[in-house]
């Protein structure tokens, strides 16, 4: 087995998924590092490219025969994202932005002919792309990342266990992971709400409606009006609109996503960590 494992990963601002209007320059600074893994920034652009190097494969449990290297790296990236606040890492490279082609000033060519001057006009096209760059810097505690990773490994989300708690927690982790990939804001919101719902109902309960609002509010210690607004927006994304009021709810929700997303990510992380902490950490991972 290789002594080191390297993987290209991609960072972007959580509130500003990669788009054709914006580039991003994300600086992630490792603190309390035992050089268990390294994050080397390569270049920034549409996304910020990093090289993730795992210096000791046992850290991601590759000594276990059932662990695939790709899944092990995904677990580590998920642990990174559960310890970040404003940024995201993804193993997926987002689609390259489209460019906009516009007419430019035409070029005229004049030639002399027996019948007089001949003018040929050739239209030119210019390709434009905005070069606004989002700058972001965030600290990452390596010790906390490894602690989170150890518990994710115990869940073994790529090989589902038969217990309800492990199965539902695996779904919650997968939904949170999907929310960190380059995507539109509504999809990110939907993934995070799904993650919260799986965490709340992880023992096989079926809390819905106001009961769901109350459970989320109690566990996360936030206002129930907030959790209700999340559920109503989620329903408008998921179900057909039957009233004009439904359209207004969706419109207001879309307009509020910049303030909703940081809070719902925080609650999703809080619930996931809460559930992970209830899984006994057995042996040395």
Residues 26 and 145 grouped into a single domain: yes
Shared domain check, 204 and 82: no
φ and ψ of 86, to 5 deg: -110, -10
Tell whether 116 is covered by a domain: no
Q: Strands 132-141, 22-31: parallel, antiparallel or unpaired by DSSP? A: parallel
Say whether both 155 and 14 belong to one domain. yes
Question: Residues 31, 153: one domain?
Answer: yes
- Per the structure, how many domains does the chain have? 2
Asked if residue 264 is part of any domain, the answer here is: yes
**Does residue 102 fall inside a structural domain?**
no
pTM of this structure: 0.82
The length of the chain, given as a count of residues: 285
Last residue in a domain, options 124, 143, 159 = 159
Are 230 and 166 in the same domain?
A: yes
Cross-strand pairs, 251: none
Same domain? For 146 and 253 the reply is no
* Whole-number Å distance between alpha carbons of 76 and 150: 9
Are 191 and 273 part of one and the same domain? yes
Q: Are residues 148 and 226 in the same domain?
A: no
Q: Which residues contact 125 (CB under 8 A, 6 or more apart)?
A: 101, 102, 103, 104
Dist CA 3 CA 121 (whole Å) = 63
For residues 19 and 136, state if they share a domain.
yes
Residues 21 and 54 in one domain: yes
How far from chain centre, in Å, is Cα 23? 16
Residue 111 lies in a domain: no
Residue 20 inside a domain? The answer is: yes
The string of DSSP codes covering 197-256 is HHHHTTTS----HHHHHHHHHHHHT--HHHHHHHHHHHHHHHS---SHHHHHHHHHHHHT
Supply the Cα-derived Rg of the chain in whole angstroms.
24
* 168/87 same-domain check: no
- Measure CA 132 to chain center: 21
Per-position pLDDT tens, the chain of length 285: 456 888 999 999 998 877 656 788 999 999 887 788 999 999 988 899 999 998 877 777 765 556 788 888 999 999 999 999 999 999 988 765 444 444 445 455 556 666 555 545 444 444 444 557 888 899 999 999 999 999 999 998 998 777 899 999 999 999 999 999 988 899 999 999 999 999 999 999 999 999 999 999 998 899 999 999 999 999 988 888 788 888 888 888 888 899 999 999 999 999 999 999 998 643 333
- Domain contains 60: yes
- Whether residue 217 is contained in a domain is answered as yes
The answer as to whether 120 is a domain residue is: no
Q: Structural domain of residue 48, as residue ranges?
A: 1-93+132-159
Whether residues 29 and 152 share a domain: the answer is yes
Cα(160)–Cα(193) distance, rounded to whole angstroms? 22
């Amino acid at each position: 087995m290789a002594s080191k494992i390297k993987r290209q990963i991609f960072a972007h601002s959580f509130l500003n998924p990669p788009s054709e209007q914006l580039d991003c320059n994300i600086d992630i600074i490792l603190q309390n590092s035992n050089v268990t893994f390294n994050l080397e920034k390569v270049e920034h652009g549409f996304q910020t490219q990093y090289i993730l190097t795992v210096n000791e494969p046992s850290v991601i449990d590759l000594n276990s025969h059932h662990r695939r290297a790709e899944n092990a790296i995904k677990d580590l990236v998920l642990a990174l994202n559960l310890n970040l606040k404003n940024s995201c890492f993804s193993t997926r490279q987002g689609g390259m932005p489209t460019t906009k082609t516009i007419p430019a000033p035409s070029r005229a060519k004049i030639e002399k002919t027996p019948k007089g001057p001949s003018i040929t006009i050739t239209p030119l096209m210019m390709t434009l792309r905005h070069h606004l760059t989002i700058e972001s810097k965030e600290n990452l505690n390596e010790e906390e990342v490894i602690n989170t990773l150890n518990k994710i490994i115990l869940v073994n989300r790529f090989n589902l266990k038969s217990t309800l708690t492990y199965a539902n927690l695996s779904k919650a982790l997968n939904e949170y992971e999907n929310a960190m990939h380059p995507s539109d804001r509504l999809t990110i919101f939907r993934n995070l709400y799904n993650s919260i719902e799986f965490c709340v109902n992880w023992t096989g309960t079926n809390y819905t409606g106001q009961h769901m609002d109350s459970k989320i509010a109690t566990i996360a210690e936030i206002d129930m009006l907030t959790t209700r607004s999340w559920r109503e927006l989620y329903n408008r994304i998921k179900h057909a609109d039957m009233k004009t009021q439904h359209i207004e709810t969706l419109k207001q929700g879309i307009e509020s996503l910049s303030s909703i997303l940081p809070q719902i990510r925080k609650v999703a992380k809080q619930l996931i960590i809460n559930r992970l902490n209830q899984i006994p950490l057995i042996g040395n991972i």
